[in-house]
Amino acid sequence: MKILSRNEGIITNWEVYHNIHLIKTRENSLKGKANNEENKLNGKEEVVEGKEEQKKENVSNSDEDSRVPKELKMVRLFENKVYEYLLQTKIDTVSPQDVKKIGLAVKPYDLTKGETLQILNLRPKSVSALSVIVEEIADRLDSEQTEQLLEDIQI
């Protein structure tokens, strides 16, 4: 197999969060469907006050875990750690429109891709935080432009 075009771009924390979230949502949905089907086949449904509820069983995950390759377990562990970190950064409160807004807001300031990425990821709230991200900010932007940039990137 020959790779014709390799994706060499950088991605934001929001994109990483969004993709992991989609994977987790799909996995949970598939697990739920599989569990429902298995319970139906095993006759483990009961009707309580007109509502169908599944009996909850304390099933050991060891049977399921033994079928998962070690490499996949490591990937899932890494994925979970990254997801936990991203949740701590409150990235789950950022919408696609917010990402687009910030991306458009930084265009007039002629920032590098790396600086733009860091602004999207860190969402600085002060001039000092912004000055750590934007190299030689005092030479590139005057104080009014710096304040305007800070204002433009707030969501």
Name the pLDDT band for 53 (thresholds 50, 70, 90): very low
- Per-residue pLDDT, averaged over 67-86, amounts to 89
Output the CA torsion sign for 109, 112, 118, 121: positive
- Per-residue pLDDT, averaged over 59-66, amounts to 52
Name the pLDDT band for 123 (thresholds 50, 70, 90): very high
Alpha-carbon gap, residue 1 to 133, rounded angstroms: 40
The 3-state secondary structure of 39-104 reads HHHHCCEEEECCEEEECCCCCCCHHHHHCCCHHHHHHHHHHHHHHHHHHHCCHHHCCHHHHHHHHH
**Tokens 């006050």 sit on residue:** 49
Q: In this structure, what DSSP letter does residue 8 have? A: -
Better-predicted residue by pLDDT, 23 or 35: 23
CA-based nearest residue to 16, from 71, 80, 74: 80
Show Cβ contacts of residue 147 under 8 Å, excluding neighbours closer than 6 positions.
127
pLDDT at 50: 45
